[in-house]
Structure 1
Amino acid sequence: MNDWPIAIAHVDGDSFFASCIQSVYPQFRDKPLVVGRERGVATAVSYEAKNLGVKREMLACDIKRNFPQVIIFDSDYHLYEAISRKMVAISRRFSPLVEVFSVDEVFIDLSMYLDRQEHLQIAKAIQYEIESSLMIPVSIGVSVNKTLAKMASSANKPHGYTIVSKKDIEPFLKEQPIDAICGVGRALNNKFLQYGISTAYDLYKKPLSVVKLLYNKNIQKLYFELHGEYRQPVNCDLKDSYQSISTFRTFPSPTTDKEYILSRFIHNLNLACFKAYRYKQAPRKVLCFLRLQTMRHIHFEVRLRSATNLSGDIFKQVRKLLEKLIDSSKLYRQVGVVLTDFVDDSCIQQYLFEEHGERSNDLKNSIFSIKEKYGVKSIYWGEEHEFALFQLPTHTKTRVNDLFVAGSVC
C-alpha cells in the first residue's frame, strides 16, 4: 500500500488573534493577553492567559476582576488579515497549490514531495519560516487528505507538527474525540453520542452501510476521508471581487458619545476602504448603520458623487447626515458601514484630488502603502484626524501626535 498517494498539509495559527497582537507589540510577548475589549468578551486568548485559567467568551469585567495581570486589547482585523496574507505568501514558496481556508488556516498540497521524511522536513521548514518571519506560532499537520491533515494540526498545539500517513490512521483516530473532525459541531456531536460514537475511530469502524443509512452525504464524505480517501481537493481559486464589503463594530458598552460613535464609524470605513483598494474596486454607494440599545436599526444610503475608495472622501460626504442621525439622548451599541456598487478603480478619477491627476494617484498609493505596512490607524485623511484619539487603544493614545495626517503633510 502506498502510504502517501497524496500529501496535504494544514497550517493553523496558534491563538492567532492574540499572537498577532503580540507579534507587533514585542513588550507583550510572553505576557497573558486577550483580545476583544471592544466587545466586552474574550474572543482570543494567548497561551499565557490560558495557563492562568482565562477562557474564550469570558467577560472582560470578570477577567479584570479575577486576572488583573491580563492585558485586554481591542480586535484589529486589518492586522489579522495582513499577517494572514503574509502567512499565505510564505506557504506558496513551498507549493503553488495553496487554499486559504480561513484567516489563520491554509491547506497546502505537498504531493510533489516524495516520502514521509520529505513531508516532515517541508512541514518544519514552513513552520520555521512563518514563525521566524511573522513572530507568530503555528502548528502543522500533514496527511493524505484535508480532514486528517486538519485533525493532525490540532493534535499537538501549540507549535506542533504531526504527520499521519495511511498506516498511522487507525492509532491516530483512536486518540481523537469525535468533535475533533472539522464540521462536527455541538448538535452533530450530540447526535453521534446518541449512537455511541464518541471518538473519530468509532465512526471510522462503522460499516459503510450503517453510515449511509444514518447520515447525509457530507458525513459520508468525512467517513471516506477518515479511511484515507481523497475526496476534497485543495481549492486554489482566490476571491478577486466582491458584491459588497461590510464592517460592523459593537461597542464594549452602550454609549451616547457622538465623537466615539463617529470614531468607530471611521475605523470601520477605513477597514472597508482598504479592502476595496486591495481588490482594485471603488464603491459608488455607501450604506451607514446605527443600532440602538433597544436593538432598533437606523440606516441610510448615500450615492457618492463619484466612485472612490478613499475613506476621507467618503466620510466628507456622509458625515453631516450621520451626525444629524446620532441623538445624544439615546444609547447606541453598534455602528457599521457597507460599500457596494463597485467599479474598477483604475477606470475612475478620484473626486478628492481630481484636479491633481497623476500626483494625487501617487499620494493615494503611498497612503495605502503606509496602511498596508503599519495598519489602518497609522495615517488619516485630515477630516478624520479629529477623531483619531478615540480610535486608538488606551496604551497608545499618548502617541496620537505622532500620527501622519494625510492632506496636512507637505
Structure 2
Amino acid sequence: MSYYPPYSGAPGYPSQQSYLPQQQYPPMHHHQQPSYGGYPGQSYHQQHPPSNPYGYSHSPQPPQQPYGSHPPPHGYNAPPPSGYPQQPPSGPPMYQGRPPANPYQGGPGPQAPPSNPVSFGHGAPQGYNFQYSRCTGKRKALLIGVNYFGQKGQLRGCINDVKNMSTYLNQNFGYAREDMVLLTDDQQNPMSQPTKANILRAMHWLVKDAQPNDSLFFHYSGHGGQTPDLDGDEDDGYDEVIYPVDFRAAGHIVDDEMHRIMVQSLRPGVRLTAIFDSCHSGSALDLPYIYSTSGVLKEPNLAKEAGQGLLGVVSAYARGDMGGMMSTAMGFFKKATKGDEVYERNKQTKTSPADVVMWSGSKDDQTSQDAQIAGQATGAMSWAFIAALRKNPQQSYVQLLNSIRDELSTKYTQKPQLSCSHPLDTNLLYVM
C-alpha cells in the first residue's frame, strides 16, 4: 500500500496527516477495478463511468463533446463526458518479430550503465560526482492527466495518455499497480483529482525514501505555460509551469518547486524518468544538461537555438495552452545577453548526483487537434515514447532519442529533446 506524506505547503489547504484513502472511500456500486497507490479502483475505463453523481456535482453526465466545440457549462469538478471505451487502450501496437535496423546501433549493443560514481566535469563543481541508476530496485510511478472538463481550453487526450502509460509501465517495466498513483479529473475519489494540493502531495510521495537503483517515473499530461521568472534561473526570463485542475483557485505549479521536490531531494543512484506532455515544458524540471539527436551536449548558443524553441513543448495536442490564454505576451525566445551567465549558474546549482532524465519536444507549432493517433486523442510525445520502446526495447539514449524523433516525424515537425541532471553518456543502454 502506498501512503502520502503530510502536506501543508499550499496556502488555503489545511495540513493533512498520512492517510489511506481506501479506508475513507467505500467501493461504489459497480464493478471494482484494480487499486492504484492504495486507492480504491479508479474506474480504469474498462467500463463506462458509473452513473453516480461525480464529486460534488449532482448534474447528470453530459454527452461527449466533439473536440473544439464549446465546453459544457460546468466547473472543473463536473462529470466527465461519457463514451469512454469499454476496454483500456493498449497504446501503440506491439512490434511483432525482429526489431527494425537502427542506423545508430552497431556491435553487440549498448552497454549497461556503470555502478560506480562518475565525475561530473563539463563545468560542474570540482570533485562533484553523480551515479547512474541500474534500475534494479523499487519502482514507483506518478501519472497525472488533466482534461479540464467544462473549463475553457478543455482537452481530450490527457486521460488517455495516463491510461496508456500506466498499462505500458505495468506490462513492460514491472511497475506494480499498487505502486502507482494516478491523478485524473474523471475520478470520483476527491483524493484522486489532479488538484494542486494532491499533485504536490503525490510528488513528495513519489520521491520519499528512494534508495540507490530505485526507479521513479513521473508523467504529466495537461496544460503548461510560462510565468515571469523571479529568481533569475531562466534564460528567457520565464519559469515553466503546469496547471492543476483547480489552477484558477489554487494557482499553478512552477518548475522551481518541481525541481526542489523531485530532483534536489534524491540520493545518488536514484533514477527519476520524467515526461511532460504539455506546452512550454522543455525545461520543466530545470535540468541543465540538454542533448540533441546527435547525442551531443547543447551549449547555450541562444541566438541560434531561439528559433528552434529550446524551451519548447513536449506535446502536440495542448497548443492552446493556459499560458497563451492568460497572457499573449509570454515570449518563446531566449535572451542571449544573459544566457551564458544563467547556464553556468544553473550547472553550479541545478546539477544533481541523482540520475534524473527528462524527455521532451522542442517546438511549439502544433495545434490541439493535431494529435489524433489511431483514432484516439493522445499526446504526441507520450505516444512516440511508448511506440519507440515497443519497437526496440534495447536502445541507447541517443538511439531512443532518434527513434522518438522518427515516430514524431511522420506527423509532426517537432524534434524531441533529452535533458539530464548530470552529463550523460548517451551511448549507454537506456533503462528505467
* Interval of TM-score (by shorter of Structure 1 and Structure 2): under 0.3
- State TM-score, norm by structure 1: 0.24
Between the two structures, name the one with larger relative contact order (CA 8 Å, sep ≥ 6): 2
Over alpha carbons, which structure has the higher Rg?
Answer: 1
More helix by share: 1
